[in-house]
Amino acid sequence: MTRPAWTPLCVPHSAAPLAIHLGAKQAECYGCLAIPASWLTDGRWQPLKRFLPTRFRPDLSTPFLQPRPVPLPLWGWNLRSLLAREHWDQIRREAYRDCGYRCRICGMIGADWPVEADEVWACDDRTNVQSLETVTGICSACHGVRHWGRTSTSGKQAAALRHMAAVNGMSMQACQTLVQARMDEWLNRSERVWDLDISWVARTYGFPSRPDAAANAAAEHENLTRAAERSFF
């Protein structure tokens, strides 16, 4: 396969003058600001690091994309359930804008809409706390890999595995092994009781949880687990 001549960038509209000043050019093939792919090997990417999708970052190593399933007891305990509608809308729309409406992981855009909001959680297996680290914009194909359980019950795992292999530069077999490891980890985590830490929202935006957050998340948890049971049995 020939190496693409250009590497797409995630540039928010407000930062376009800076990116252009640093050497980014409009690439017709992507319809966005981009840098020559050769810059990834000669160091000239570094001033544009904040705009570079993860998969192209020379300072990071693969896997760039793998499943990050939420432990079963926390299904439904997401920002959409826990925050007022207008607060969640502001957070997700800022995530879309901040990535210039291109996937932060692979640099591409989705078939139906450019990007979706991905809540990035960290699970601490010592304290059993799942903490929100950020919300970012990624394409539907990368999002499908992140939420592997949902993808596999909808019969889309073959396409998700192909996307994962392409983004990571790994074989299908190696990706399958990685998926299995993440799902084993998920089974183990799902047997434990977890606490949730969404203090990132208050720190970043100053938004409180909605007054009925716990009841609303519990209802959403019920909906999601029932739907999963229906798809399994």
Site for Zn ion, residues 63 to 82, rule: CB under 5 A: none
Please identify which residue in 33, 105, 117, 170 interacts with Zn ion, judged by CB under 5 A.
105
DSSP letter assigned to residue 58: T
Q: How far apart are the first and last CA of the chain?
A: 43
Q: Segment contacting Zn ion (CB under 5 A): 95-103, 125-133, 169-177, 198-206?
A: 95-103
Of 41, 63, 65, 56, nearest to 9 by C-alpha is: 56
- List Cβ neighbours of 56 (8 Å cut-off, separation of 6 or more): 7, 40, 45, 107
Please identify which residue in 9, 106, 175, 179 interacts with Zn ion, judged by CB under 5 A.
106
103 near Zn ion, judged by CB under 5 A: yes
Per-residue contact flags (x/-) with Zn ion for residues 115 to 154, judged by CB under 5 A: ------------------------x--x------------
**How far apart, in whole angstroms, are the C-alpha atoms of residue 136 and residue 54?**
12
The residue among 54 and 130 lying less far from Zn ion, judged by its C-beta, is 54
95 near Zn ion, judged by CB under 5 A: no
CB of 92 to Zn ion, least distance (A): 16
The residue among 142 and 161 lying less far from Zn ion, judged by its C-beta, is 142
CB of 67 to Zn ion, least distance (A): 14
**How far apart, in whole angstroms, are the C-alpha atoms of residue 202 and residue 209?**
9
Residues in the site for Zn ion, rule: CB under 5 A?
103, 105-106, 139, 142
